[in-house]
Amino acid sequence: MIRKTMTILAVAASMAAVAVAVPAFAQSAAAKAAVDAGKAAGVVGEQADGFLGIVSGGDAATRAAVAEINAGRAAVYKDTAAKTGVTAEAAGQATAKQLYARLAPGQYWKPLDGGWTKK
Those residues with Cβ within 8 angstroms of residue 45's Cβ, 6 or more apart along the chain or in another chain: 39, 52, 53, 55, 107, 108, 109, 110, 116
Say how far apart CA 92 and CA 12 lie, in whole Å: 9
For 9-13, 32-36, 57-61, which range has the lowest pLDDT when averaged over its residues?
A: 9-13
What is the residue range of 39's domain?
2-118
The answer to whether the CB of 84 falls within 8 A of the CB of 37 is: no
- The predicted-structure confidence for 39-66, as pLDDT tens digits, reads as follows 999 999 999 999 999 999 999 999 999 9
Report the C-alpha gap between 85 and 3 in whole angstroms: 14
Q: What is the rounded CA–CA span in Å between residue 15 and residue 28?
A: 21
Domain count, the chain: 1
* Segment 64-96, tens digit of pLDDT: 999 999 999 999 999 999 999 999 999 999 999
Which DSSP symbol is given to 109? Answer: E
Is the model's pLDDT at 12 over the cut of 90? no
Q: What is the DSSP letter of 103?
A: P
pLDDT, position 6: 45
Q: Which of 74, 76, 55, 54 is nearest to 65 (CA)?
A: 54
Give the pLDDT score at 27.
82
